[in-house]
Structure 1
């Protein structure tokens, strides 16, 4: 890797480190925080659903911002929006506010995250291409998972310990502060390499052009479309399981006030993510196609979730949690590389936002439904149901595999232009 590409990767990894550290301060205790604010299980997961609804509503507009104004501008807007809305979340908890306010602020939290989704990944791929990087994208995304895993481990453990030593609101204040620091860092070091905004059209016409071209290179291309359409099932179940495992582990542990144990769930997932990020490029070489890796990991995820739901032993739940986190971490960089190698640069952020949007749609509908099942039958049953829901996405991924896109087989960098389009 040449020095310029190495610098791009270093900036990308620091951005991931800061973002994940900020976010993970509350990941281990978020559900407990909502329940402590007076919400029921249904309301807590409904608040999370409003967060993902915000991502659905704002995903494409913010993706267009990244593809028309710039990736750096989108990132900076995201850090400020998240910092302010996180502080508002703390105020709602402090005031024991009614559910309607949680729904509104959760929507705005979703807006903050949509400025990140697609934009940072598009910035990385464009900048690497601009600096002459020819290596494997899986390797870069795998390193990203390692860094986010380390940040997630540190943040979730510290967040849980901090909450137990003080109260459930302090980690949210720490998160807001870290996001302000990341704004300053990105403002100084980020440059939109390999991407030049098109100012030849007015804002509305430019937005319409990017959306039209993104649909042509995204949803109209069968190999891309099927992979995007599979996202709601794995993402929706994954978001629910991540947060449901916090109170579920406390239930198995037998002490509902052991907040550090709740943080342990996120910490274990982070360690599994580190291992998966390191091994993902190597595991990928065991399969002829990228989709084989992703589909195999999804099948293992389904089996693990069902086993988690049927289990009643705390120590075995920890083992299964590590397996579940590992298979996700193996699949994610391979899936990212597969999609990025099929998308042209000018539409990359918007198409990736389409992918994130469909994943968020799963969270909007699946989270409250599984949350209601947890109220009615318990967390274990809801995890079993979640595994069955994730199973629905596997035939859709198989449909993407059947398109035989060149990006499904490459092991080094391939540009989208080199692939023969399979649009309809």
Structure 2
């Protein structure tokens, strides 16, 4: 039990719920703020996402190595400080370049959390079967936390103004860092106290070797590259597409309602999958199905004649795509040893960032020089390629490391 009387799994899941409430509620308001208040164009919206990803690409692996060398817990604390500051600052600026700066700091904050969170709970529990179950629970918690955040932060923005909601959400994220300080013990992790830089380099080499030595892990990395390029671009384009279709109510209210529905649907889907998560085929099939549903949604948004059909298409795509993150995290975690766990997850996050940059720049260029419909069709094509990749290279015979 942890010091406050809760089990470590409960401490972790509740933290994930609270963090999702704040940052996903914040992002709902931010996505509308960037379109309605800051009046950014389609290409500028995608380029902000690319800016975030550049920062993540540069700092992801160093942050992961530091977490494996110094502390997973304190890496998460640093993440909260940076994240809260960026969220707060977003509500205080409105120009493209200042907003780019705040979003880049927000991207930096995630480099200290991605990998460190999974590595912390995996090592402290030290039970692979239990860890997979906790990761599924935490994803469900993030989805239900998203519902609370969309309603709470979105409602606050509607009652006051978007800038006020963004500032308050950022302040709350800073305070949530205290929960990590108090509630996260770190008994199993051993800090490297001598020759830290050589030890850090050794950790990076071992983690990279593990990735290169597994056909399955390489396939997951490639799929992550493609899927997250789509997630990043689609997440920034669909609010603009829905606004262009004509929304009959306030965009914040409409998008909050959509977010609630897609989060509840995702949580229900994970609830169904959770009892079977240890099956040989479950993760791969879940990944493929999520991508296939997203293809239907993205193509549906292109041809949608109005707000209702467009919203249904968004519900399918944006509801299915986040599930791929859960499946890839569990998939990679099974292949990773304790001493390089945060580093390998950071390498996975780096593949995500590289995909957001490469695919994001391509989709931004298409949106700028062609039109949004062609950009969305490109997103669907990338998802089809991902399905073929996972089906061919993600077979059960590659499940274990050579």
Aligned-residue offset at 1:143: 1.3
Q: Using the alignment, how far apart are the partners of 1:245 and 1:151 within structure 2?
A: 22
Residue in 2 aligned with 1:357? Answer: 350
* TM-score for both structures, normalised by structure 1: 0.86
Residue in 2 aligned with 1:178? Answer: 172
Provide the aligned C-alpha RMSD in A. Answer: 2.6
Q: Using the alignment, how far apart are the partners of 2:365 and 2:163 within structure 1?
A: 26
Contact 1:253 1:314 in 2 (8 A): yes
Q: Is 2:107 the counterpart of 1:110?
A: yes
Aligned-residue offset at 1:358: 0.8
Q: Is 2:194 the counterpart of 1:200?
A: yes
Q: Is 2:243 the counterpart of 1:242?
A: no
Q: Using the alignment, how far apart are the partners of 1:187 and 1:399 within structure 2?
A: 44
Aligned-residue offset at 1:364: 1.7
Aligned-residue offset at 1:21: 1.2
Residue in 2 aligned with 1:305? Answer: 298
Aligned-residue offset at 1:185: 0.8
Aligned-residue offset at 1:352: 0.5
Where in structure 1 are there 5+ consecutive unaligned residues? Answer: 409-418
Deviation string for 1:365-392 (max 9, x for gaps)? 3334434444556544432221112222
Q: Using the alignment, how far apart are the partners of 1:208 and 1:286 within structure 2?
A: 35
Residue in 2 aligned with 1:84? Answer: 85
Contact 2:290 2:320 in 1 (8 A): yes
Contact 1:218 1:351 in 2 (8 A): yes
Picking from 310, 313, 324, the partner of 1:320 is: 313
Residue in 1 aligned with 2:329? Answer: 336
Aligned-residue offset at 1:28: 1.7
Contact 1:144 1:277 in 2 (8 A): no
Provide closer, same or farther for how the CA distance between residues 151 and 403 of structure 1 changes in structure 2, counting only shifts above 3 A. Answer: closer
Q: Using the alignment, how far apart are the partners of 1:114 and 1:291 within structure 2?
A: 26
Q: Using the alignment, how far apart are the partners of 2:282 and 2:141 within structure 1?
A: 26
Q: In the comparison of the two structures, how many residue pairs are matched?
A: 400
User: 100-109 or 39-48, which moves further after superposition?
Assistant: 100-109
Picking from 124, 141, 149, the partner of 2:121 is: 124
Contact 1:25 1:155 in 2 (8 A): yes
Aligned-residue offset at 1:305: 1.6
- Structure 2 counterparts to residues 6-21 of structure 1, below 5 A: 7-21=7-21
Q: Using the alignment, how far apart are the partners of 1:293 and 1:200 within structure 2?
A: 43
Aligned-residue offset at 1:13: 0.8
Aligned-residue offset at 1:68: 0.5
Q: Using the alignment, how far apart are the partners of 2:350 and 2:135 within structure 1?
A: 20
Q: Using the alignment, how far apart are the partners of 2:133 and 2:6 within structure 1?
A: 13
Picking from 128, 137, 142, the partner of 2:136 is: 142
Contact 1:41 1:372 in 2 (8 A): no
Deviation string for 1:169-198 (max 9, x for gaps)? 122112212112211111011112432122
Residue in 2 aligned with 1:66? Answer: 67
Provide closer, same or farther for how the CA distance between residues 402 and 315 of structure 1 changes in structure 2, counting only shifts above 3 A. Answer: same
Aligned-residue offset at 1:289: 5.3
Q: Is 2:164 the counterpart of 1:163?
A: no
Q: Using the alignment, how far apart are the partners of 2:318 and 2:134 within structure 1?
A: 19
Residue in 1 aligned with 2:264? Answer: 271
Contact 2:91 2:162 in 1 (8 A): no
* TM-score for both structures, normalised by structure 2: 0.90
